[in-house]
Amino acid sequence: MIKTSLVLNSLFSANNMYVPLSRGVMSKSKKYNDWISKNLPLVDLSSPPEYPVKVEILLMVNYNWTKKNDPDNYIKPVMDLLVRAGVFPDDTNKYISGVEVRTLYLIGEPVMRISYESV
């Protein structure tokens, strides 16, 4: 199968997705909504010809980033972005067979490559 991918120059952690409104009530944060709005036009991926698909997220980060960040916190924002962009109808198991997150160390600012392929 052919792998389809894109690169984003900004990462967003699920730790910053929600803000408390009142006791037990959460809402999506302005930072999260701004990140989605900023990156939505950059998602130029077409929908896959068949489902389910395997999604791969490659975090290309420097050593200092790994000291204070947890790679699995980047899954949900990425999946939300792909659904909002219309790449996938939903992020349920009907359409997504799995998500793999890998980390590659480099010098410079963090970059993320998102790819998928039908399984």
Q: What is the pLDDT of residue 2?
A: 78
Place of tokens 């980033």: 65
Interatomic CA distance for residues 32 and 30, integer angstroms: 5
Q: How many domains would you assign to the chain?
A: 1
- pLDDT tier, 1 (very low <50, low <70, confident <90, very high otherwise): low
- DSSP assignment, residue 57? E
Q: In CATH, what number is assigned to the domain containing residue 56?
A: 3.30.1330.70
User: Are 73 and 66 contacting, i.e. CB atoms less than 8 angstroms apart?
Assistant: no
Q: Give the range of the structural domain holding residue 66, as residue numbers without chain letter.
A: 4-118
Cβ contacts of residue 107 below 8 Å, gap of 6+? 62
Q: What is the pLDDT of residue 111?
A: 95
Tell me the three state secondary structure of residue 71.
helix
pLDDT digits (tens, 9 = 90+) for 42-81: 998 888 989 999 999 999 999 888 888 899 999 999 999 9
Q: What is the pLDDT of residue 45?
A: 86
pTM given for the model: 0.92
Interatomic CA distance for residues 17 and 77, integer angstroms: 8
Interatomic CA distance for residues 23 and 10, integer angstroms: 31
pLDDT digits (tens, 9 = 90+) for 89-109: 999 999 999 999 999 999 889
